[in-house]
Structure 1
Amino acid sequence: MRVQVEIGRCEGYANCVVAAPDVFSLDDEYLVVVDAPTPGEEQRAAVEEAVRSCPAAALALQDD
């Protein structure tokens, strides 16, 4: 699985960080940073929640 982000859509809500703090963080401008672009299967539920909870629809999950 691979996390994709459309950084131009990110509005810094940080829902992704709350849902999956081991995968996402925010930079100094409060934009999403994907710290683990290919998270392990054990992170799937958290990453799927992060994608669903993004109000700006800036995240996507692609299965390899």
Structure 2
Amino acid sequence: MRINADTGLCVGSGQCVLTEPAVFDQDGDGIVVLLTDHPSDETEAQVRDAITLCPSRALSILQE
């Protein structure tokens, strides 16, 4: 699994960070920052939840 973050769509709600802070962070403007684009198996469920919770649909999964 690989995560894609479209920073142009991000509205800075922070739901991703609240859901999985080991994978997502925010810059000074509140825009999503990926700490890794290949999450571990242990965080996969939370990453999927974060993607679902994103109000602007800025996050997606790319299958490799």
Higher percent of residues as helix: 1
TM-score past 0.5 threshold: yes
The code of the aligned residue for 2:60 comes to A
Deviation at 1:53, TM superposition (A): 0.2
Q: Which runs of 5+ in 2 are unaligned?
A: none
The 3-state SS of whatever aligns with 1:7 is coil
The alignment yields a C-alpha RMSD, in angstroms, of 0.7
Question: Where has structure 1 moved over 2 Å in runs of 4 or more?
Answer: none
* TM-score with structure 1 setting the length: 0.95
* TM-score with structure 2 setting the length: 0.95
State how far apart, in whole Å, the 2-side matches of 1:62 and 1:44 are. Answer: 13
